[in-house]
Structure 1
């Protein structure tokens, strides 16, 4: 059993808290039973799995699965798990895996495009919501928060493994390509005269959402075929970007279900 916080493996896994290290090692962390279960369910190979004896005893069946699909399994002390994890009270298991989302992503029916999203909780929530609403994927600008930030994975509630996602080197180019394929581009603007429920989401559609503070850049906003507003009561400046995305996605789902 590993008990020392100075163990080389422990030090290496702790480095994955930082985006720079995740990029250099080309690895990311999975924290908690639910994320490990979801990774196993989709067949994601795990490199290293660290868990406590108590966790192993409580999850004998999952432990057997991990023995078959992990390169290295280590029993560790609760103190080591707490050191490796980014959560305050981890549930007893942390794993590492290779980064997997760098492939380009083509959206041709119903998708979400995100520009310069900085809050990992917002991104994780939008991943979860997009999956629930039936979106075919999310395209993210390269200057957004890392997709494999631990908080993003946790906020996605496991949908991170199931929803196609891609990092775009040029959102403008990708959006123009989508327009050529007949997709309509929809952006939210507070001054728009059309509400979001007046758009015909039955058409192939891309929903654009921008940075939490600055919104969409003028460059991307200019590409939209339809500008819509989400009405709010007087005195309310705007909605959280994840909430706004949820309203748009579910209006699209409502229309597409009719």
Structure 2
């Protein structure tokens, strides 16, 4: 099917989902942009992990990416009547980014209920507490995907998981990970405790050095807000505190940098010390 007008209902829905958290919550949908991001998302739909609402593509994009990306998945990830060819001109109007890659999707939200049924009792988890920067969240999702975490939990008003900047910077990881959005940090800590998953608060000082800490067990590391870190009442709830030992002239790292280092250490293997 062809769409040429920016007033088409599906195009208008895509634009709303890009710009409005309220619209994303109301419809239970989010927008995906970019050739690789969309192709990776389509693959997850073909594998049955997620559901795709709509696909938009230009002939120019298919020609450009046919030898580098599996663009055929765009046509098998949902019903044929939900796949739309659009003009290059319309593609440029669908994005706020300066450079349109000519492929877009509308996808059903992917976060799971935070209940025991969806938690791996032998797993390792990343918990993000009131993280506010979309780039940091996207980077940490991608890192979590790379090291193989069992899931990522976002608590206490983290930046919207489906913010387009998060989705872009996560580069497909949004649809590959088990993701949970929970209002109350205490609920997270309580369920993990019940399941025998040890919670470890990442703190700037007075924690056990991550290179000496034993991550070789079911556990979760908790990363706090970029400016304020973890609230004391949240770090006090956690079973342990861990710290990245700093040897230079700065006291702390960006949340995404710190999270990446701790995640790598979590999965390095074995007990340290």
Tell me the TM-score normalised to structure 2 length.
Answer: 0.85
1:19 pairs, out of 15, 18, 21, with 21
Alignment of 1:1-258 (within 5 A): 1-17=2-18, 18-43=20-45, 44-58=50-64, 62=70, 64-68=72-76, 69-70=78-79, 71-104=81-114, 105-108=118-121, 109-192=123-206, 194-256=208-270
| Contact map agreement 2:39 2:71 (CA 8 A) in 1 | no
Count of residues in correspondence between the two structures: 258
- Looking at structure 1, the residues matched to 54 and 181 of structure 2 have their Cα atoms a distance apart, in angstroms, of 26
Instruction: Report which stretch shifted further, 6-15 or 64-73.
Output: 64-73
Residues 78, 229 of structure 1: alpha-carbon distance in 2 compared, 3 angstrom cutoff: same
- The DSSP-based 3-state class of the residue aligned with 1:186 is strand
Tell me the TM-score normalised to structure 1 length.
Answer: 0.90
| Contact map agreement 2:199 2:220 (CA 8 A) in 1 | yes
Q: CA RMSD in A?
A: 2.3
| Contact map agreement 1:112 1:135 (CA 8 A) in 2 | yes
**1:176 offset after TM fit, Å?**
2.0
Instruction: Report which stretch shifted further, 175-184 or 131-140.
Output: 175-184
Residue by residue over 1:186-223, the C-alpha shift from the partner in whole angstroms, topping out at 9 and shown as x without a partner, is: 11222215211111111221100011111112221111
- Looking at structure 2, the residues matched to 62 and 132 of structure 1 have their Cα atoms a distance apart, in angstroms, of 21
| Contact map agreement 1:14 1:83 (CA 8 A) in 2 | no
Instruction: Report which stretch shifted further, 24-33 or 225-234.
Output: 225-234
- The DSSP-based 3-state class of the residue aligned with 1:42 is helix
Gaps of 5+ in 1: none
Gaps of 5+ in 2: none
- Looking at structure 2, the residues matched to 193 and 114 of structure 1 have their Cα atoms a distance apart, in angstroms, of 18
